[in-house]
Chains A and B, each alone.
Chain A
């Protein structure tokens, strides 16, 4: 049986509504972030000077945040596994670990933003504009827009996760653990592409 036959053998009617809804949400998010990434790539190709600005981003913090997000993806999928077995203590531990992972990501991001702002790399950086480097300034606009939008998704994920954790601890709506997990993996996926774009390809 080939891949298409296998997929056709799964009846859509059997897919839980919540999960289907999450996939539709992910498709929408892919358009938003995919569009931004495409614009970034095109501008990067058009303006090689962006490499100079990209050299100022912190690879250490970027890599650290990648480790944090990958690990939190692991903990939420373990929470899902525990939810299916109705092991409520494990669900609580793993979901709490995921929320802490999200918090660690935001703390790292805050430190990183503070350093960059301190060095004058801001939205429409006056320092760069005064020296006539409008292209360089544009890089930082893209940087803050993409990472800021991603961080907003992390915050939303943490709020959703907290609400679901409160319910799951009482054994209610355990199926939502998987939905929170799918959302969190999407946040992880986006970062997997933002990280090389902004932090490694210099």
Chain B
């Protein structure tokens, strides 16, 4: 990839040369819409716990498809992956760190 120098300190990539390959976007959109339909059907058919599990599994699948194919994450350097992974790790720590305080303690935080 070649860069175009527009001032002494700033360089921008030449869009014509910043080509990292493109997935069959139409097919990916179709797959995303099919997954959406699946999650809607699952929500109506299965029991709550099974439905919630399957619905979130399809949501994670859909988001990974968007990140991989639309956002081209697979072409980014390790630094970008580390930044995203660090944020997700912090979120998981936050969630599981306060999980017992919210769910396991028998206390009315908000009056019913």
- Chain A residues within CB distance 8 Å of chain B: 4, 7-8, 10-12, 14-20, 23-24, 26-27, 30-31, 34-35, 38, 41-43, 45-47, 49, 51, 59, 63, 66-67, 70-71, 73-74, 77-78, 81, 83-86, 132-135, 138, 174-175, 177-178, 181-182, 185-186, 188-189, 192-193, 195-196, 200-202
Residue in B1, B22, B77 whose CB lies within 8 Å of A81: B22
Instruction: Give 9 CB contacts A-B under 8 Å.
Output: A10-B77, A20-B80, A27-B84, A84-B19, A134-B110, A175-B12, A195-B59, A200-B39, A200-B51
Residue in A7, A45, A201 whose CB lies within 8 Å of B43: A201
Instruction: Give the secondary structure class of A's interface.
Output: helix
Q: Are A34 and B91 in contact (CB under 8 A)?
A: yes
Q: CA separation between A74 and B95, bound complex, in Å?
A: 32
Tell me the B58-88 residues at the A interface (CB within 8 Å): 58-59, 62-63, 66-67, 69-71, 75-81, 83-84, 86-88
Q: Are A200 and B83 in contact (CB under 8 A)?
A: no
Interface size class of B (residues with CB under 8 A): 35 or more
Instruction: Give the secondary structure class of B's interface.
Output: helix
Residue in B3, B12, B71, B88 whose CB lies within 8 Å of A185: B71
Q: CA separation between A23 and B82, bound complex, in Å?
A: 11
When distances are taken between beta carbons in the complex, the residues of chain A under 8 Å from B32 are 70
Residue in A15, A63, A78, A188 whose CB lies within 8 Å of B76: A15
When distances are taken between beta carbons in the complex, the residues of chain B under 8 Å from A42 are 95, 98-99, 102-103
